[in-house]
Amino acid sequence: MAAPPLLLLDAIRFTLGNAPILSGAALSVSPGERLALVGRNGSGKSTLLRIAAGELEPEGGTRFLQPGATLRYLPQEPDLSGHATVEDYVMSGLGPADDPHRARALLEGLGLTGNEGTARLSGGEARRAALARALAPQPDILLLDEPTNHLDLPAIEWLEAELASLRGALVLISHDRRFLSRLSRATLWLDRGVTRRLDRGFGEFEAWREEQLELEEQAAHKLGRQIAREEHWLRHGVSARRKRNMRRVGELHALRQARRDRIRPTGTVQMQAAEAASSGQLVITAEGVTKSWGERRVVRDFSTRILKGDRIGIVGANGAGKTTLLNILIGQLAPDAGTVKLGSNIAMATLDQLRAALDPDRTLADTLTEGRGDQVWVGGKPRHVIGYMQDFLFIPDQARTPVGKLSGGERGRLLLARALAAPSNLLVLDEPTNDLDLETLDLLEELLADYAGTVLLVSHDRDFLDRVCTGILMAEGDGRWQDYAGGYTDMLTQRGEGVTARVVARPAREATAPRPAAAPATPARKMSFKDQHALATLPATMEKLQKEIGVLRNWLADPGLYARDPKGFTQRTEALAEREAALAAAEEEWLRLEMLRESLEA
């Protein structure tokens, strides 16, 4: 028999202004449960969590908390006022039976000493202090609203491990897909004021959500009702994009393989070939770059080539110098030594620069058109502003809405629309995923996949890096940066570990001992004859496929081919798809065998 719930919300109603936010929402939390609370920005997730925490009274419905059950809540914006130091703030959240040593250990695990003054904390430090305060009592129920915001990768991975070890129940709101997938065992979807529950983790949620929306559309069609505008928005924001996923994955794989070919240890020839490429193809060249801040060296003897179409993620712990390296690469910060050259005709756009330019009193349409009629120029071509708005999940009725009345997620989409409309061939994104909902992240991923230029981004979102990047620049420590082909998971495979995570403090004897290397999978003592033969012959096979692909692409580039020979057009299109798939498989097999050879030689 299932245990009774520790926390129960039923038929919750809440109105913000004249708009009903919650209209019958429910939440049930059983002992030890792991629940992801999801929904688009503005749907009322944080409001529901505040009601669950007892910080906000609903206008209708009931809230029940089991007598004696302990509950802790992490808001999006923790308030540390009234406490002189971080340790004072954390200790004030402990009960008589709670262990203060655990609180101090959590602070160390999160990279804080406890002596920091609360008035001078950064957003990330305040979030770490609030996490320590919420985790220290080991409550029966832990409610966390965007716990990974403003945290770096070491802190996110440390937090992930800490939450996985807890015995209490957990309710999570987060835009970090990987974080949700690894920690959740059930998913609660808040949509149009009501909740629907899936008794499976977030990893299976998006496919289930699409099924639910399709069933709703069928039922609405049978009844002859018009589908609500929110459903239309969400369906086209999810289902339509999902159908293009396979194309995007294939294109990303091809881009990653091209980058692998340029940065392998034996790739001196590739580096020279890239340097000899046409001026439009070579976007950034860095040679022997070094940069220090005082006594601390953040970049040491770094070299790279970034070509047109690359999507490069810059990854490392806070303080590793990610933004410094980014600013050096785009020419906004001079290195102490070495050279950085930008290619010709570089037109750069950044989301940060555009954020300050949003006028809260200007309408959404005027913001996009700059007040010049009803046309938006995108890639040198005019688009009607309504159609362009709909590409970014806005509805026509919002064209005259002042920017100041948009939700955070809507403002994020507006920034993306402006950035992608501006003429650019180099897009620079510093933490673009902060405060974006999952639907907006989907949109951003699609836009970056279709973007014809080059992308440089700093992010701590592992899933986003995997879905977008063709290469990773990884902070290896002491100012050293290493270039890896592929996304974050590819980097893990090649490197053997991710960004070094902070851990709970150990005794001095253990802390000073060298960390043992991760035990690698035991490889064969030598390569088989079949593998040796494949490794030797695959380069010729790939070269042949590349030439055939080039010939087919030249044929298909003829705009009149389809009109003259529709059958031939179809045959060549199918042949191109077959050869591209064969090339991708050959490249993947060559990379596997090359890595096996290198591991055996090592």
Estimate the crossing angle of helix 566-601 against helix 529-556, to 10 degrees: 150
276-280, long-range: CB within 8 Å, 24+ apart, which pairs?
Answer: 277/307, 279/343, 279/344, 279/345, 280/308, 280/343, 280/344, 280/345
Flag whether 184 is marked binding. no
Q: What is the reported pLDDT for 567?
A: 80
Q: What is the reported pLDDT for 26?
A: 96
Computed on alpha carbons and rounded to an integer, the radius of gyration of the chain in Å comes to 26
* Cβ atoms of residues 109 and 503 within 8 Å: yes
Q: Edge-to-edge strand order for the sheet containing 34-38?
A: 71-74, 141-145, 169-173, 34-38, 186-191, 194-198
Whose CA is closest to 398, among 366, 354, 375, 353?
366
Flag whether 42 is marked binding. yes
Q: Give the other-Cβ count within 10 Å of 100's Cβ.
A: 12
Flag whether 401 is marked binding. no
Q: What is the reported pLDDT for 517?
A: 41
Check residue 17 and give left, alpha or beta (phi > 0: left; psi -120 to 50: alpha).
left
Flag whether 44 is marked binding. yes
Q: What is the reported pLDDT for 531?
A: 77
Flag whether 39 is marked binding. yes
Q: What domains are defined for the chain?
A: 7-70+139-211 (3.40.50.300), 250-347+469-507 (3.40.50), 529-601 (1.10.287)
Q: What is the reported pLDDT for 263?
A: 58
Which parts of the chain sit beneath pLDDT 70? 1-2, 17, 220-250, 259-280, 352-357, 379-380, 407-409, 435, 497-526, 559, 562, 591, 595, 598-602
Flag whether 323 is marked binding. yes
Structure tokens at 507: 């005794």
Burial 195-207 (b: 16+ CB within 10 A, else e): beebeebbeebbe
Flag whether 321 is marked binding. yes
Structure tokens at 30: 């059983």
Alpha carbon separation from 530 to 8, 38, 79, 484, 534 (Å, rounded): 61, 49, 63, 28, 6
Burial (Cβ within 10 Å: 0-12, 13-18, ≥19) of residue 57? exposed
Q: Give the other-Cβ count within 10 Å of 39's Cβ.
A: 21
Q: Edge-to-edge strand order for the sheet containing 454-458?
A: 348-350, 426-430, 454-458, 311-315, 471-477, 480-485
Flag whether 45 is marked binding. yes
Largest CA distance in the chain: 84
Whose CA is closest to 170, among 73, 100, 68, 92?
73
Q: How far apart are CA 429 and CA 107, in angstroms?
A: 30
Q: Which amino acid is at 321?
A: G
Flag whether 40 is marked binding. yes
Query: Which one-letter DSSP state was computed for residue 28?
Result: E
Whose CA is closest to 23, among 8, 13, 10?
13
Q: What pTM value is reported for the model?
A: 0.67
Q: Please work out, in degrees rounded to the nearest 5, the angle formed at the alpha carbon of residue 207 by the alpha carbons of 153 and 249.
A: 60
Whose CA is closest to 502, among 492, 486, 515, 518?
515
Structure tokens at 290: 């070094």
DSSP string, 543-565: HHHHHHHHHHHHHHT-TTHHHH-
Residues 6+ away with beta carbon under 8 Å from 168: 31, 32, 138, 139, 140, 141, 142
Whose CA is closest to 144, among 116, 122, 166, 115?
166
Flag whether 276 is marked binding. no
Flag whether 316 is marked binding. yes
